[in-house]
Amino acid sequence: MTMTDCPAIHIQGLRKAYQSGHLALAGVDLDIHAGEFFGLLGPNGAGKSSLINILAGVVRRSSGVAEIFGFDVERDFRRTRQLLGVVPQELAYDPFFTVREFLHMQSGYFGLRHNDNWIDELMAELDLADKANANLRNLSGGMKRRVLIAQALVHRPPVVVLDEPTAGVDVELRQGLWQFIRRYNAEGRTVILTTHYLEEAEELCERIAILQQGKIVALDRKENLLSAASWRILKVTFDHDPGELGPALEDLLTGASENIRVFRIDAQRNPLGAVLAQLQQLPAQILDLHLQEPRLEDAFTDILGRMR
């Protein structure tokens, strides 16, 4: 069996219990296909970091299977470390080196002696070229984040995990980073993204898994997760203040300003036609209607709400 015959990530029955008694992962089953742009989402404490740390060999699993292209993350640690690049949440770096020295040193860990062209390309893509000879301790937080991204990619891993890569960075870096990562993914590499910026996951990811309390509570293509959300947002503009809406419409009301009213409509409980009929009975004339389809953030909130 070759790497192309295996999922990029294969996880089966994965459990992690800490000595404190906390069960971080409670039997996770997950396959991530080679070349996917995959979203791993969940609230704080859901188990995302434990799963990533197990893949990276930083944390030992309690039981179950965790493989990268068919290689076990513990038994074949050297091989899996070559296959994986992780951009961590924390700004961990060595303050005694310049950017170029740091990336050369990281290349050495993977036995790459002639990696200058790729390092130059990484620095150019991440707008670090003019900081190549700057000491790491003198960089801003956003620049340090860029260096960590370059560090994770310095050995051109076929799988890269981006753990909150744009936390605390400016809009310009976000846009440049995603352009670069899209190209990296388009070349056949697998990208796994964890983020609290759900609009990023909605724009970038093909499939999404949602973790809650150490279990996967949703796993599907993004389009299917969005279509499963039963409710919509209806924004109505009247020619003047419509006054009292009545109990039924008041229950759906989520926002009001001057002549505008915003309603949250669950299609299963409140058919749109019935809501529009009630709106037409109000003393104010409707000038505009805007129906907003669910966003990933809405579907995410819905799924977690059903778990409570």
Q: Which amino acid is at 272?
A: L
Give yes or no for residue 22 having a pLDDT over 80: yes
Overall average pLDDT of the 228-246 stretch? 88
- pLDDT above 90 (res 291): no
Strands (E), 36-94: 37-41, 63-68, 71-72, 84-87
pLDDT(229) > 90: no
Residue 103 pLDDT level (bands cut at 50, 70, 90): very high
Residue 137 scores a pLDDT above 90: no
Q: What is the mean pLDDT of the chain?
A: 89
Give residue 1's pLDDT. 44
Q: What is the pLDDT of residue 308?
A: 62
Give the chain's domains with CATH numbers: 3-226 (3.40.50.300), 229-296 (3.30.70)
Q: 10 Å Cβ neighbour count for 106?
A: 21
Q: What is the mean predicted confidence (pLDDT) over 212-226?
A: 91
The span from the CA of 183 to the CA of 187, in Å, is 6
- DSSP-assigned states of every residue in 195-222: -S-HHHHHHH-SEEEEEETTEEEEEEEH
Comparison of pLDDT for 200 and 307, the residue scoring more: 200
| Residue 98 confidence (pLDDT) above 50 | yes
The lowest-confidence range among 15-29, 170-184, 237-251 is 170-184
Q: Assess contact for 100 and 128: CB atoms under 8 A.
A: no
Pairing verdict, β 231-238 and 71-72:
unpaired
Q: What is the mean pLDDT of residues 17-34?
A: 94
Q: Could you report the per-residue pLDDT of 48-94, keeping only the tens digit for each?
A: 999 999 999 999 999 999 999 999 999 999 999 999 999 887 666 67
Average pLDDT of span 284-295: 88
Alpha-carbon distance of 232 to 217, in angstroms, equals: 22
Question: Half-sphere exposure (CA, 13 Å, Cβ side) for 84?
Answer: 30
Quick count: other Cβ atoms within 10 Å of Cβ 46?
A: 23
Q: What is the pLDDT of residues 153-211, one digit of tens each?
A: 999 999 999 988 877 677 777 888 889 899 999 999 999 999 888 889 999 999 999 99
Amino acid 307: pLDDT: 63
